[in-house]
Amino acid sequence: MRRLAAPVLVLAFIGVAIADIKIGGLLEAGEDIVEMAFNSAVERINTHGLAEPGERYTPTSDRLLTRVEHIERSDSFQASRKVCTLLEEGVAAVFGPQSTDASFAVRSACETLDVPHIETHWDYRSRTTNHSLNLYPHPSALGKAYLDFIKYKDWKNFAILYEENDALVRLQEILKDATLMKENRVTVRQFEPGTEYRKTLKDIGKTGIKNIVLDVPIKSLYTVLKHAQQVDMMSEYHNYFITSLDAHTIDTEDFQYGGTNISAFRLIDFSSKEIDEVARDWIQRRHRFSSKKSSSVQSFNTGDQDFYKNLTTKVALMYDAVRLFATALKDLHPDTGPKITVQPLSCEREHKWSQGNAFVKYMRMINIKGLTGNIRFNKDGHRTDMRLTVLDMAHSGWREAGEWTMLGGINITTNYTRELEEARLSLLNKTLVVTTILQPPYVMYKEKWRELGLTGNDKYEGYCIDLLDSIASSEHFINNMKYVIREVADHSYGGRDADGRWNGMIGELLNGKADLAVADLTITYVREEAVDFTMPFMTLGISILYKKTAKPPPGLFSFLDPLSLEVWIYMMTAFLGVSLFLFVLARFSPYEWVNPHPCEGNPEELDNQFTIWNTLWFTIGCLMQQGCDVTPRALSTRVAAGMWWFFTLIMVSSYTANLAAFLTVERLVSPIESVEDLAKQTTIQYGCLRSGSTQSFFKDSQFPTYAKMWHVMQSQRPTVFAESNQKGIDRVLRGKYAYLMESTSIEYNIERNCDLTQIGSLLDNKGYGIATPPGSPYRTMLSQAILRLQENGDLHVLKERWWKKQRITKKCPKDIINKGTSAMTVASVGGVFIVLLVGSCVAVISAIIEFIWRAKKIVPEERDPLCVELCRELKFTLTCGSKKPLARPRSDENLAIAATDNGMPFMPITGFGLHNKNTFS
Ligand code: ASP
């Protein structure tokens, strides 16, 4: 309200109110509809006031009268003469004309006499003057909308094609944008004058650019699009953005079904309440209007649809301009505010209209809703704050896809379901071209296809062919997807050549030669930047394919192989250690000393069977699982012997089992075990497929081993890169060559060729996917179908079929490489040694217990203290000889103990009691 105060105050001092206000229109030839809009707006205001549909009718105080002058198109001389005629008739404002030059002439006349000049066309020269107002969006605002749209689309590259020089001004926001220009994404071409658009379009097509910003006058737009269609520039992979705000008026019938992505902005707000009433009004007027004019008059055809199609921005803006003027006028009603007076003015004289400037200022401050949305001006008098509707071409014609506003920028409301439906429908009449490469088991010729006379798709079979078939018949496509299979011309998967151009299947997708690439095509980052991939249908990694090394002839000492050298050494040590231990233990234990002649009641000496030789014989007998007639009697020796038996049991069983494996299994001895081994040596050459993802993997790798391998591969002459996997395999079979190949293909080949084997694990992890040109509408459907096949287990069944069942002539014996048949190390049998050690400790403890037990049973008077007896026994133990003199017990009690303990009528121990002392001293 504050903003309005100043001009209203100015106008408050103005003289007498008048009933009729004349407004002048300067219309160029062929603008009958603009004229109709001009007149209809005035008539509607005079009869219905300014009330919006549904609002109460509020009549305006002043009646508007129109005064129209016609001029030739862009005739500025005529325009400047005719504006003077209008001014002499006392018009309160001049509307039009549309062409920039003529309008410029009118503007200067109006400026001189301070008469409001209301324009409705794009004009980059438009500057703020006190007396003029342009309802057309300001070039800077429109430029920003274009830029926002391009940025939203995020095209990798695009071409700007224009016809008139003005276009460069219109698109300057894009051309000024540092990021777009820096990345060299924009190609700018002007159509050569003379409407031969085909040549320029063809040239752009050859560069592979699929995204086009089209700036041509609306009258040429249809022809340009038609020419684009003729030179194959209107496929579903092409995107067009039309800068004209009238794109909705062209006949779209020819472009709706091709699936080309065509977008444009529209200023007219078809959702405004007023538009339907205006439509009805204009359709009624059509009859009156066309009966007055000749048959050549451009008019609306029957039906609402045609009204909307023919409603151009300039027509709507003219209507809005009149309403804006009328709103300002209404605000200046005698009852509600100041009044205006108009008077005839002459171009010859300097006499100005005193209220002109204030009137225009007032118009700039008010805000109305019109056919072109909200009409408001910024402080400079420019219309920058407007709403543009984003239009997309669909099967049914133009479709509203979102909007652009100065504050909110681009806001696209994507309806995926609708998009999918559109894509599905577009497939109904289309046969997709599928590019592929011959690679078993993915794509192969059927056996005897020539003899059977098979052609086209019928001659192929394989995993990918079955996959394609399952996808095509899935419920994601209406009436099955139709396709024709073509082999890629250069027999490559797709890599970038020296000048950055893609070859192989990727190249064919980008050149528009194919719609899909279905093969064992790896999804990689660089490829994903150029084309689109579906969900992966198989996962894999790079590995090494190598020739199996022949089994070495068995050696004389192969029987030693099951155990590693260190285990053999440990075993020998254990054998000697246990023998010695048992020898000492048996001498120490009192229960191992026995009467050598059981028939003799009172032996002089006791005997011990565990002499050093007997002990060695005993342990070796156990180790060899033979046993011997030396058997331990005491608990301690039995514990020690038991542990040794346990040890020998485990060791012998392990040895036997491993020996069996060594003798029966085909053992592979490969000079390389991993990719690191391969990188380290120089005798075996290695390479991979040319122009594939495996090559790119090594080429782009920063990992030192792989980078080094790439360096080596590159420097090899003759080349180590194979033209096809089959050639790589043949070279492997010739020997001294390792082929870096994808694991799934390795798996397939080693299943069929028993001379081949995989070395080491996977170097990376990736997947195969179906590739489509960028922005393909079919990608989502294909991904959905792949997911469904995966969930159903169909992909697994296909894999089993093509890897394990089809085309297998003989089964290769399973290679159990090293893992099961390697010599046993301490790591696998160390536990047994520990058990043996623990057992020995238990045996020592039992020997001591035995000794104490036995000693305790002797009458204390007849023996020395326990530790003295113990030391004496130990000393004896360490001396040689297997005989021990027997000391007689002095009491009958001890004799009885001896009889119960040993079952003998004498005591088989020495060293207890005083006698012993005498014996050994
Ligand atoms: N499948 C690979 C590709 O897509 C071929 C390869 O490099 O082994 O390039």
CATH of the domain at 93: 3.40.50.2300
Determine whether the shortest distance from the Cβ of 692 to ligand 1 is under 6 A: yes
**Pairing, β 685-688 against β 737-742:** parallel
Nearest-5° Cα angle at 403, 398 to 405: 145
Alpha-carbon distance values, 333 to 16, 330, 379 (Å):
11, 5, 25
By C-alpha distance, which of 881, 889, 833, 831 is closest to 857? 889
Average pLDDT over residues 867-886: 71
Confidence band, pLDDT 50/70/90 cuts, at residue 202:
very high
Q: How far is the CA of 694 from the centre of ligand 1 (A)?
A: 6
- Closest atom of ligand 1 to 521 CA is 4
Q: To the nearest 5 percent, what fractions of the chain are helix, strand and coil? A: 45, 15, 40
Question: 870 C-alpha to center of ligand 1: Å?
Answer: 81
Tokens representing 317?
A: 């803006």
* CATH number of domain containing 627: 1.10.287.70
10 Å CB burial of residue 453 (0-12, 13-18, 19+) is exposed
Please tell me if the CB atom of residue 150 comes closer than 6 angstroms to any atom of ligand 1: no
Residue 654 contacts by C-beta under 8 Å, 6 or more apart in sequence?
Answer: 562, 563, 824, 828, 829
Q: Is the pLDDT of residue 912 over 60?
A: no
User: Can you name the residues that pair with 538 across neighbouring β-strands?
Assistant: 768
- Please state the rounded mean pLDDT for residues 466-482: 88
Q: Is residue 18 part of a domain?
A: yes
pLDDT tens column, 111-138:
888 899 999 999 887 666 778 889 999 9
Burial 762-786 (b: 16+ CB within 10 A, else e): bbbebebbbbbbbbbbbbbbbbbbb
Under DSSP, the state recorded for 161 is: E
Beta bridge partners of 263: 241, 392
Instruction: Tell me whether residue 693 is annotated as binding.
Output: yes
Q: What is the pTM of this model?
A: 0.68
Atom of ligand 1 nearest to the CA of 742: 8
**Binding residue per annotation — 742?**
yes
Enter the DSSP assignment of 544.
E
Residues 16 and 54 in one domain: yes
Q: How confident is the model at residue 773 (pLDDT cuts 50, 70, 90)?
A: very high
Q: Is 712 helix (H, G, I), strand (E, B) or coil?
A: helix
Give the mean pLDDT of 793-817: 83
- Residue 433's region, left for phi above 0, alpha for psi from -120 to 50, else beta, is beta
The answer to whether residue 435 sits within a structural domain is yes
Q: Are residues 143 and 221 in the same domain?
A: yes
Indicate whether 706 belongs to any domain: no
pLDDT band at residue 814, thresholds of 50, 70 and 90? low
Give the mean model confidence (pLDDT) for residues 827-839: 87
Q: In terms of residue numbers, what domain contains 30?
A: 8-136+310-359
- Residues with Cβ within 8 Å of 845's Cβ and at least 6 positions away in sequence, in order, are none
Write down the pLDDT at residue 679.
Answer: 93
Into how many domains does the chain fold?
5
pLDDT in tens, 498-528: 888 899 999 999 988 999 999 999 999 999 9
Based on the domain organization, do 795 and 883 belong to the same domain?
no
CATH number assigned to the domain comprising residue 428: 3.40.190.10
pLDDT tens digits, 878-899: 776 666 666 545 455 544 444 4
Q: Which amino acid is at 815?
A: D
Is 904 found in the same domain as 892? Answer: yes
Lowest-pLDDT range of 534-543, 805-814, 840-849: 805-814
Q: Which of 521, 537, 727, 743 to mutate to test the pocket of ligand 1 (most atoms within 8 A of CB)?
A: 521
Question: 291 pLDDT exceeds 70?
Answer: no
Instruction: Say yes or no: 146 and 225 in one domain.
Output: yes
Contact 824, 654 (CB under 8 A): yes
CB 285 within 8 A of CB 3: no
Would you say the CB of residue 180 lies under 6 angstroms from ligand 1?
A: no
CA distance 724 to 769: 20
Q: What is the b/e burial string over 428-443, where b = at least 16 CB atoms within 10 angstroms of the residue's CB?
A: eebebbbbbbbbbbbb
Q: Is 592 touching ligand 1 by the criterion CB < 6 Å?
A: no
112 known ligand binder: no
The rounded distance, in Å, linking the Cα atoms of 913 and 860 is 8
- Sole residue written with tokens 């279905």: 518
Q: Is 696 inside any structural domain?
A: no
Residue 292 has pLDDT above 80, yes or no: no
Decide if 344 is inside a domain: yes
Cβ–Cβ < 8 Å for 211, 239: yes
With respect to residue 737, please indicate whether it lies within any of the assigned structural domains: no
Q: Is the CB of 522 under 6 A from ligand 1?
A: yes
Q: What is the residue whose two structure tokens read 């246990």?
A: 578
Mean pLDDT of 841-854: 85
Residue 794 has pLDDT above 60, yes or no: yes
The CA 541 to ligand 1 mean position distance, Å, reads 10
User: What is the DSSP secondary structure assignment for residue 94, as one 8-state letter?
Assistant: E
Residue among 436, 437, 488, 522 to mutate when testing ligand 1 (max atoms within 8 A of CB): 522
Mean pLDDT for the stretch of residues 804-820: 69
The answer, yes or no, to whether any atom of ligand 1 lies below 6 A from the CB of 728, is: no
**How far apart are alpha carbons 521 and 163 in whole angstroms?**
42
299 confidence band (pLDDT: 50, 70, 90): very low
Give the bridge partners for 49, in sequence order. Answer: 58
CB 698 near ligand 1, within 6 Å: no
Whether residues 258 and 400 fall in one domain? yes
**Exposed, middle or buried: residue 386 (CB in 10 Å: 0-12, 13-18, 19+)?**
buried
Neighbours of 392 (CB within 10 A): 18
Contact 105, 60 (CB under 8 A): no
Among 559-568, 609-618, 883-892, which is the least confidently predicted range? 883-892
Residues 262 and 175 in one domain: yes
In a domain? residue 277: no
174 and 232 in a common domain: yes
Establish if 209 belongs to a structural domain. yes
CA 580 to chain CA centroid, Å, is 71
CB of 694 within 6 A of ligand 1: the answer is yes
Q: Is 503 in the pocket of ligand 1 (CB under 6 A)?
A: no
Q: How would residue 20 be classed by pLDDT, with cut points 50, 70 and 90?
A: confident
User: Is the same domain home to 223 and 124?
Assistant: no
In the block, residue with structure tokens 């190609």: 187
Structure confidence at residue 905 as a pLDDT band (50, 70, 90): very low
**Centre of ligand 1 from the C-alpha of residue 441, in Å:** 14
**Two structure tokens written together for 581:** 């231990």
C-alpha atoms less than 13 angstroms from C-alpha of 862 in its C-beta half-sphere = 20
* CB contact at 8 A, 95 and 25: yes
Most confident of 191-205, 535-549, 872-886: 535-549
742 Cβ closer than 6 Å to some ligand 1 atom: yes
Domain boundary among 664, 682, 710: 664
523 Cβ below 6 A of ligand 1: no
β-pairing, 516-517 with 431-436?
A: parallel
The tokens describing 413, both together, are 């409301």
The amino acid present at 145, given as its one-letter code, is A
Write the DSSP assignment of 482-534 as a string of letters. Answer: EEEEEE-TT-----B-TTS-B-HHHHHHHTTS-SEE-SSPBP-HHHHHHSEE-
How many angstroms separate the CA atoms of 401 and 412, rounded?
A: 6
Check whether residue 21 and residue 59 sit in a common domain: yes
Centre of ligand 1 to C-alpha 768, Å, is 9
Mean pLDDT to the nearest integer, 86-110: 90
Task: Please state, in angstroms and rounded to a whole number, the distance separating the CA atoms of residues 863 and 824.
Answer: 53
Same domain, 147 and 105: no
More confident residue, 767 or 826: 767
- Could you tell me the pLDDT band of residue 284, with boundaries at 50, 70 and 90? confident
Minimal-distance CA residue to ligand 1 atom 9: 692
Of the listed ranges 9-18, 180-189, 338-347, the least confidently predicted one is 9-18
Q: Which of 620, 641, 664 is the last residue of a domain?
A: 664
Please report the pLDDT score of residue 54 as a whole number. 61
pLDDT tops 50 at residue 297? no
* Of the candidate ranges 13-27, 387-401, 561-575, the one whose mean pLDDT is the lowest: 13-27
Burial class (CB in 10 A: 0-12, 13-18, 19+), 846: buried
Rounded Cα distance between 669 and 745, Å, is 23
Q: Which two tokens stand for residue 704?
A: 């030192």
Ligand 1 neighbourhood includes 543 CB (under 6 angstroms)? no
- Domain stop point among 664, 699, 714: 664
pLDDT at 918 over 50: no
Q: How much distance in Å is there from the Cα of 743 to the middle of ligand 1?
A: 11
pLDDT for res 258: 85
238 and 150 both lie in a single domain:
yes
